[in-house]
Structure 1
Amino acid sequence: MSLKHVVTKNAPASPVPGLFAQAVRAGPFLYTQGTPGARPDGTMVEGTIADRTRQAIKNLEQILVVEGMTLNDVVKATIFIKNFDENFPLVNQVWEEMMPEPRPTRTTVGVAQLPAGGTDIEIEFVGYKA
């Protein structure tokens, strides 16, 4: 099996080009990097964590498209959020709104700090398409 780096200009670039890939395709699996609620040009979306969650999912959707996948092909998600108690319900509302049934399995972790320039959320996906 060979690995393939997946890149699109329709999602924020890796924070350290050459060190991180936006995504890697490994056979039928696609593993994305942690993606913040930033626009493709890297500027952070203003507003609430709900706004940044929507943007993060849109960014990840653009990465999936490069490999012929959709949100329906996501089998696992990991979400990192700051201020867990306050933000968890808001993230769940967006998750329910944007992610199609059957929704993927998910782990949500509360963190004190995220590396991506001032964000309060970062999401990564694992997609599967044979």
Structure 2
Amino acid sequence: MSGHHGKRAVRTTGAPRPAGAYSQGVVAGGFLFTAGFGPQDPDTGAVPDGVAAQTRQVLRNVGAVLAEHGLSLKDAVKVTAHLQHLNRDFAAYDAAYQEFFEEPCPVRTTVGSELMDILVEIDVVALLPATDSPG
């Protein structure tokens, strides 16, 4: 064996369905990787106004994928966040983001990106419990 243990898709109705050829999440190598999620409500498709409300919905969407595999945002070790208006919205995004994490916080990269009619998109990498590691 070359150390490659395969990968498994994670699916939930608690987060928006993929809009293309990607999984909501993938378990591989002892981690759960999520897709980048926007702020769409998974039931209605509605997008809340403002970056703070959008950040909260995005993190609820990401959290739903983690929960499908028995994890939570507390298990996140890496967060990548994209903001449509980095300078304008960073403070409000960061304040809403902090509501979802506690020390030790995951590492985080926040960048300005061209997004599709949303203000924020976030993906995370979460550490699986040792007993859940493939092998």
Same fold, TM exceeding 0.5? yes
Work out which of the two has the higher radius of gyration on C-alpha atoms and give 1 or 2.
2
Residue aligning to 1:127: 126
What does the per-residue CA deviation read over 1:21-68, in whole Å, with 9 as the maximum and x for residues that have no partner? 101000320000000011113623222110010000011111001111
1:100 Cα deviation after fit: 2.0
- Map Cα deviations across residues 82-110 of structure 1 (whole Å, 9 max, x no partner): 11111011111011122122110000010
- Of 19, 22, 25, the residue aligned with 1:15 is 19
Shift of 1:5: 0.5
User: Does residue 35 of structure 1 match 2:37?
Assistant: yes
Work out whether residues 39 and 48 of structure 2, in 8 Å CA contact, stay in contact via their aligned partners in 1: no
Counterpart-to-counterpart distance in 2, 1:29 and 1:122 = 20
1:52 is matched with which residue?
54
Amino acid at match of 1:76: K
Structure 2: 5+ residue runs without aligned partners?
Answer: 131-135
**Alignment size in residue pairs:** 125
What is the match of residue 114 of structure 1?
115
Normalising by the residue count of structure 2, what TM-score does the alignment of the two structures yield?
Answer: 0.88
- Measured in 2, the distance between the counterparts of 1:81 and 1:91 equals 9
What runs of 5+ residues in structure 1 fail to find an aligned partner?
A: none
Q: Is the 8 A contact 1:76 1:127 kept in 2?
A: yes
| In structure 2, C-alpha distance between the alignment counterparts of 1:7 and 1:120, rounded to whole Å | 24
Aligned partner (choices 105, 114, 122) of residue 103 of structure 1: 105
Within 5 Å, which residues of 2 pair with 1:59-78?
59-78=61-80
Structure 1's consecutive aligned runs of 4 or more residues displaced over 6 angstroms after TM superposition are: none
Let me know the Cα RMSD of the aligned residues: 1.2
TM-score (norm 1): 0.91
